[in-house]
Amino acid sequence: MKHSDQPGARKALFDFSDLHLDSFPAGDEWDEDHKIFDAPDAFAAKTDALWHQVEPLYNKLHCYVRAKLSEKYGPAVQPATGPIRADLLGNMWAQEWGNIYDIVAPQGAGDLGYDTGALLEAKGYDPLKMVKTAEGFYSSLGFAPLPDTFWTRSQITKPRDREVICHASAWDIDNKDDIRVKTCLKVNADDFVTMPFTPRELVARMRARLRQRWSFTGTRKKN
């Protein structure tokens, strides 16, 4: 993004936020906008119909990946039938399977051609620099920098002296200016791609506080 484009992008981001708030129902409007839940049988039928559309492809993909993992680790680790072990899918929450591409790619498909983690390390990236890069994107749109306490109070890497939950989250401790993230970053493609989400959540909370249009009771404040 060029510097001259950034003011326009910042305005577009605020416009999108306003549209989102305007579309979000308050009080009794919530039930009115969610009448679909008044017909649970119809809702269940719709979700079943959507699932059946993709089920044949998913079953074939699941069977293929399971066979490749069984071939790689042996049937004692990954049986040839039944569920796939989540811890073999290359993602802590089994959300995506891209990290096992080298194991399951069909013969002759070729590799990705690059290793994002290696490229980041070659450029001198560490977990802290990854966070600063993510913050820099939002600062380039005109958002204020994160406070100094963010950098001293956040957990950016996994502590060596204790076990922690590594699922990334953002926290507004005092509803004022003590904001932090809790994560366990490593220099790899997954963390580099997902890291911008956490500062984005913080920025959204800060903006919501500064431009608050809702009271703590959930009633929309008039501009």
Q: SS in 3 state form for 177-213?
A: CCEEEECCCCCCHHHHHHCCHHHHHHHHHHHHHHCCC
Q: How far is CA 60 from CA 57, 77, 86, 151, in A?
A: 5, 21, 18, 46
**Those residues with Cβ within 8 angstroms of residue 171's Cβ, 6 or more apart along the chain or in another chain:** 179, 180, 181, 182
Q: Which of 28-37, 48-57, 105-114, 131-140 has the highest mean pLDDT?
A: 48-57
pTM, two decimals, is 0.56
Strand partners, 75: none
Predicted pLDDT of residue 106: 87
- The tens digit of pLDDT for each residue in 125-168 reads 999 999 999 888 878 877 778 888 889 999 999 999 999 888 88
Q: What torsion, rounded to 10 degrees, do the Cα atoms 200, 202, 203, 209 define?
A: 140
- The tens digit of pLDDT for each residue in 73-105 reads 999 999 999 999 999 998 777 888 888 988 998
- Cβ atoms 84, 69 nearer than 8 A: yes
Largest CA distance in the chain: 63
